[in-house]
A = this chain, B = another copy of it.
Amino acid sequence: MSMLLLDLLGTFFFAVSGSLLAARKKFDVVGSLLLASLVGLGGGVCRDVIIGQGVPNAFAQPVYLLPPVLATLLVATRVVHETRVRRPLLLFDAGGLALFCIVGTITAHEAGLHAVSAALLGLTTAVGGGVMRDVVANEVPQVFNPRGVYAIPAMLGAALTVLTLELGWFGVVAGCLIAVFVFVLRVLSIRLEWHVPLAGGGTIRTNDV
């Protein structure tokens, strides 16, 4: 039950990020609904297809359509809208990331996957939807933006989730702490412009990007 709520909340956060990107790209409300659904549901569908235990939740339970619909409405009525420095998109995306790395890891762990595999699938769930959103909107995915760290908080969140699950310590408190940790880490990394070394060696210079 609480897993469903967490999953729906994460879906909603990601869906808002999708609708905000749709607004920035001048898509219409139907495109907004589709992009919101893709980012909100895409990661979870991939996870469920990989686990291979029946029809993915997003298709089996119509309640999963509500978050994208709500997100589309909130953005279309400008209750949520982008400001000059486009922070809302990043914040909602960070919220989805924080919840999905936990929900994805738990789902994979419950399906009987190895601890490492469960964490990897949690990371895939968390990062997958956002990659689809950005690819479909013809942008380089945020996960590859060398300003700030994106995958590292999700990796840590998935690892902490699987660790506490294995130790029998996972519960509401642990889940909340991990989610807050991932969210704060992601947001701080954008604010403070953390970066890790570049793929080909060296580090980013201030004037790049």
Q: Does A106 contact B (CB under 8 A)?
A: no
Q: Does A166 contact B (CB under 8 A)?
A: no
Number of interface residues, chain A, beta carbon within 8 A: 67
Q: Does A208 contact B (CB under 8 A)?
A: yes
Instruction: A143 to B31: give the CA distance in the assembly, Å.
Output: 7
Instruction: A25 to B199: give the CA distance in the assembly, Å.
Output: 9
Q: Does A168 contact B (CB under 8 A)?
A: no
**Chain B positions within 8 Å of A56 at CB level:** 50
Q: Let me know if A139 and B138 touch, CB within 8 A.
A: yes
Spell out A's residues near B (CB within 8 Å): 19-20, 22-35, 45, 49-52, 54-56, 59-60, 62, 65, 72, 75-78, 81-82, 113-114, 116-117, 120-121, 127, 131, 135-141, 143-144, 146, 149-152, 195-201, 204, 208-209
Closest 8 CB pairs of A and B: A23-B200, A32-B199, A22-B199, A62-B116, A31-B144, A23-B199, A28-B146, A27-B144
